Amino acid sequence: MNCIFPMLARACLALAVSSVALFEVDGRLAAQAQLSNLRSQLQDPAEGLGSAPVRDALNRPCLEAAGVSRPHTVNPDLVDHLVRLENRCPRVLKLKVCYFTEDHCKALDLGAYKTEEVFLGMMTKVSRFKFFIFQK
């Protein structure tokens, strides 16, 4: 990347580094989408809700979560709402996964270094949904 103004070399370098980081994130998301069912849609949890994330010794969040909406094969109007949870820590996480506006929740214990999909519910023609997670 060529920088037009030599005085702004640091800013140009920062732009180059951030564009590489964005590419890595997009590549990771594309790889996740390829691994899951191609008809599924990935969604992040609602921000600012739930409890503070449990962290490991290096201050990284232990839990990775993504919402997945998956239409039925026979009747594509029916859509399952799943939440994919991945524990990246050597301890058991006690979780409660809830729909955004309802009290409908699922409680579970996610084992160390385990990945699990939680079925939240099913709706007709609703592929986007919000959820939040309480951690202990």
Domain containing 109 equals: 38-135
- Span 90-103, mean pLDDT? 89
C-alpha span between 68 and 64 (Å, rounded): 13
Q: What is the pLDDT of residue 93?
A: 94
User: Do 127 and 75 share a structural domain?
Assistant: yes
In terms of domains, do 46 and 88 share one?
yes
Average pLDDT over residues 63-90: 94
| CA angle centred on 28, ends 24 and 33, rounded to 5° | 145
Number of domains the chain is built from: 2
Task: Provide the pLDDT for residue 94.
Answer: 94
Confidence of residue 44 (pLDDT cuts 50, 70, 90): low
Are residues 77 and 29 part of one domain? no
According to DSSP, the β-strands at 63-71 and 105-110 are unpaired
Per DSSP, helices labelled H in the chain are 9-35
The answer to whether residues 85 and 113 belong to one domain is yes
**2 and 23 housed in the same domain:** yes
CA–CA separation, 119 and 38 (whole Å):
18
Between 113 and 4, whose confidence is greater? 113
Higher pLDDT, 37 or 23: 37
Tokens 């969604």 belong to which residue?
43
Query: Same structural domain for residues 66 and 43?
Result: yes
* Furthest-apart CA atoms within the chain: distance in Å: 62
| Averaged confidence pLDDT in the chain | 73
Q: What is the pLDDT of residue 56?
A: 86
Same domain, 47 and 31: no
Q: Give the pLDDT band of residue 113 (cuts 50, 70, 90).
A: very high
Are 88 and 27 members of one domain? no
